[in-house]
Amino acid sequence: MTMTAVPVGPQRYQERYPATLEAATQARRDIALALETWGLPQLVDVAKQVVTELVANAVEHTDAATVGASITRTGTVSARVVVTDTSRTRPTPGTPAADDESGRGLVLVDALAHAWGSELVHGGKRVWAELRADGEQ
């Protein structure tokens, strides 16, 4: 009898980090490693930037003790980044002045991601970004 392995679900990586300044660096490294392992190096740079901004926002703008970050492969050249925290306040892009030193994180996420958004979930919120390397908008 011949058996064939079948996928049991999408490729996914997730981790929780203490809500400290180092969380964004750790999440960026872990997400990049997952994408490289899955053979998606074309998504690494954009994913690193997006997860950095989303985790930094969660650390800076909430009082969460931990922040979750995950990446799920959604297609042959696409993935979804998700960052979770315990705040129920949904993020909104800022409108920083030209000389402001901060406030551009979600504007950057909007420019880099195919789509992004947030949703309230039990115990907090989830902020997600869809990434594609196929050039489709």
pLDDT tens track for 47-97:
999 999 999 999 999 999 999 999 999 999 999 999 999 999 998 877 766
Give phi and psi for 53, each to the nearest 5: -65, -45
Distances (CA, A) of 133 to 4, 38, 80: 30, 14, 12
pTM, entire model: 0.88
- Longest CA–CA span in the chain (Å) reads 69
Q: Do residues 38 and 71 touch, judged by C-beta distance below 8 A? A: no
